[in-house]
Structure 1
């Protein structure tokens, strides 16, 4: 199912981007002489594909989240716990000044929760069955407040814009590198040969890995802001308690799909060089920030 969703998303991106470029009248990345790069056209093409990919993913985020996590939506509460969950989300959303999100429970032993959606008044909050079963209600409320904080702060849209900018410049500079390899190193004097495409792909992979650290840094910053919002809505003591409880849960395997990791309440700690790619700060740092 995840592979099918990935392919459908990319197909939608290519289709929408192609139509957009046609409407803009943007054609080749080469100038009329067939030798030099048309940097203006290249930047437009890279921006269209870079931002289109991010925004299509954002628009499909609720659909993708429901399918990838196996989220069971609560249309109408069937027991006291579900009623409390719906009432709590409604109360927090009202305090934060946003519309009531859709609410669902996903079948994971790991204690986690996420929020997603392109519109803060039509978002989605998911919470794991493990968190509901093991956490106290004041801790669950704090976790929900954190996720409501993400929605109220517009974090999903902000991260989408940042990802769009990063995508644009990764594609742009990768193709400049590919052009340089094709013209200067391989001495191809007309059009683009196989060297251009191979070098562009390799450069895009390398630059994409490096650029992902920028996105991860912004993601870590927004976690502190969501913790702050969670503390305002649910109380500082409750927010700290929820994070401390999450810290004690690291032995439970991470069951959140990789596409949803950045939107979860926490992720497993990365150490050393890999810490630069972490979407969440260490829980100790988040707890210390709230204690201050």
Structure 2
């Protein structure tokens, strides 16, 4: 899910920033009042109007990101979508058959698109705006590194994300986060603009909105990442139900073994070991991690 979350967050920030820039330009060069400032007491801000605006922009941006998620993933990761009725290699056929078999086991009636992307990283992700229009993709590095049972466990984990509707749930949470980001970035920008000359206020406010929105979006990603870590345990359990607990546990142990070997070889910064966003981050950086520690995931699965 790490790739999916990263793509969603990046797309969301770009979409939100674009919406705000376009809105700011329209309100600057037209008669539309987009500043949400009034002549009242205190800060002179129309909080009700700003709240409604923030809610609309927040959820529009979030759902636009969701709608674009599958297309963005294919483009950014250069995913080769596999046609189940076309000519496929033995390896490609194996991936398609596993995804379709596990999808049916999950009770889904619509098969997701299946893809492989050329990367040395050991990774896989699922994305898409709905269960009917989803994509499950694996890296070539994953296929080259793991045995058949481990690959099946990883794919089962991703299919479980689709079956659980995690992308839609994450989008709703992102919409709430976006609402607060837009609301507080506008207030902060208005306050900052009060410290410059009146003729400069509009340009300072315009720039401050963009800066604060990006900054608050990054901070807001901690909330989304925390929820993502929570959902990973559910996907592990779902993967165990679909492929069997032994295969799911074997997949997690294989991932841990690969990361440990890479650390011994002093390649901890290599993109190839960013397996499903699993890492040993500590301190503040752990708050931005989309996945819990592998040892904790293995322990939770074994305790089940």
TM over 0.5: same fold?
yes
- The change in CA–CA distance for 1:71 and 1:273 in structure 2 (over 3 A counts) is same
Unaligned ranges ≥5, structure 2: 1-6
Which of these residues, 124, 132, 139, is aligned with residue 143 of structure 2?
A: 132
Could you tell me how far 1:122 is from its partner in structure 2? 1.9
Which of these residues, 213, 218, 221, is aligned with residue 222 of structure 2?
A: 213
Give the superposed CA RMSD: 3.3
Which has the bigger relative contact order, CA under 8 A and spacing at least 6? Answer: 2
CA contact (8 A) 2:81 2:114 kept: yes
Which of these residues, 279, 282, 285, is aligned with residue 271 of structure 1?
A: 282
- The change in CA–CA distance for 1:52 and 1:88 in structure 2 (over 3 A counts) is same
1:28 aligns with 2:34: yes
Q: Deviations over 1:155-192 (max 9, x none)?
A: 11111111111111012012223333445xx3878995
Unaligned ranges ≥5, structure 1: none
- The change in CA–CA distance for 1:267 and 1:77 in structure 2 (over 3 A counts) is farther
CA contact (8 A) 1:112 1:128 kept: yes
Aligned to 2:91: 81
Could you tell me how far 1:231 is from its partner in structure 2? 0.7
Is 113-122 or 30-39 further displaced after alignment?
Answer: 30-39
Could you tell me how far 1:39 is from its partner in structure 2? 1.2
Aligned to 1:106: 117
Number of aligned pairs?
274
CA contact (8 A) 2:100 2:111 kept: yes
Aligned to 1:254: 271
Which of these residues, 164, 169, 187, is aligned with residue 175 of structure 2?
A: 164
TM (norm. structure 2) is 0.79
Q: Deviations over 1:111-141 (max 9, x none)?
A: 1110000111221000111211221111111
CA distance in 2, matches of 1:194, 1:118: 36
Q: How does 1:106-255 map to 2 (within 5 A)?
A: 106-183=117-194, 186=195, 193-197=202-206, 199-250=208-259, 251=262, 253-254=270-271
CA distance in 1, matches of 2:284, 2:17: 35
Q: How does 1:30-45 map to 2 (within 5 A)?
A: 30=36, 33=39, 36-45=44-53
TM (norm. structure 1) is 0.82
Is 33-42 or 88-97 further displaced after alignment?
Answer: 33-42
- The change in CA–CA distance for 1:138 and 1:190 in structure 2 (over 3 A counts) is same
